[in-house]
Amino acid sequence: MSQLAKKPARAPSQKPYQLICGDALDKSLLPPNSMDLLVTSPPYNLGMAYNEKSDDAKPYKDYLDFSRRWLANAFYWTAPTGRLCLNIGLDKNKFGKAPMCADITTIAMQEGWKYHATILWLEGNISRNTAWGSWLSARAPHVIAPVEVIVVLYKDEWRRARTGISTIEKDDFMDWVKGMWAFNGESAKRIGHDAPFPRELPRRCIKLFSYKDDKVLDPFAGSGTTLIEALANERQAYGIELSRQYCALADKRLAIECPTN
């Protein structure tokens, strides 16, 4: 039986979550078929200085290979009726243009994931674009969509075999299944992480796509936002994060946002 098969009893001093300071490319970090929902935003390969171990300015071919490796591990860790909510950019515009969403979705499906939907996230505080290319000319105009996407994938079966306890309200359900989400992004300065996503993103994914007590994993846990929302919504929280600095930041935020009794 998997070590994650049952929700373990814990002493008051134990953390109510599992945050592994390790590499999402390490398949051995978690047992197979153990996670019900993954909510994550991997590095976008835009040259961000996340930590001394990461290279966020790879040649695009190498970035796609990195994406393939972690998506394969995520597939291995996910239960047969598990889902993946993948927050990525629609396009790649830095260090050369590329259809990032299309490329990574294709790779995910090659690794066994099945496609369910794409949610458009209109980020309210996105930077104003002034890189027009050829101004008022058809010579070489730039087109940059002010959205990110959340690609919703699943492993074997979309319909959950087990009926659990849903925690979503009627109005939220009716609004969120429309697939166009509008809420502000998060301040990197306020959180202390170079590219945090707002709590609203994992909150919606968790409430819409999982049951109470499900196991929720973020393989790029960063500042711990997904884990915070998993605990806040009565799910079991798991995370993997390469940077020890960000692991410490996530632990600090979790202690403040989700104090134990």
pLDDT at residue 122, rounded to an integer: 92
Instruction: Map out the domains of the chain with their CATH numbers.
Output: 17-126+143-257 (3.40.50.150)
Confidence category of residue 261, pLDDT binned at 50, 70, 90: very low
Residue 238 pLDDT exceeds 90: yes
How confident is the model at residue 92, as a pLDDT? 74
Q: How confident is the model at residue 55 (pLDDT cuts 50, 70, 90)?
A: low
Q: pLDDT (tens digit, 9 = 90+) per residue, 108-137?
A: 999 999 999 999 999 865 555 567 788 888
- What per-residue confidence (pLDDT) applies to 230? 97
Question: Is the model's pLDDT at 12 over the cut of 60?
Answer: no
Enumerate long-range contacts of 166-174, CB under 8 Å, 24 or more apart. Answer: 166/207, 166/211, 166/212, 167/207, 167/211, 167/212, 167/233, 167/234, 168/207, 168/208, 172/204, 172/207, 172/208, 173/208
**Residues contacting residue 28 through CB under 8 Å, at least 6 positions apart:** none
Compute the distance between CA of residue 207 and CA of residue 203 in angstroms, rounded to an integer: 6
pLDDT of residue 147: 87
Question: pLDDT tens for residues 139-194?
Answer: 888 887 888 999 999 999 999 988 899 999 999 999 999 999 999 855 555 555 55
Lowest mean pLDDT among 27-31, 195-199, 236-240: 195-199
- Does 250 or 93 have the greater pLDDT score? 250
Q: 36 with 215: CB under 8 angstroms?
A: yes
Query: The pTM is what?
Result: 0.86
- pLDDT (tens digit per residue) in 62-114: 999 999 999 999 999 999 999 999 999 888 766 678 899 999 999 999 999 99
**Residue 127, class by beta-carbon neighbours within 10 Å (0-12 exposed, 13-18 middle, 19+ buried)?**
exposed
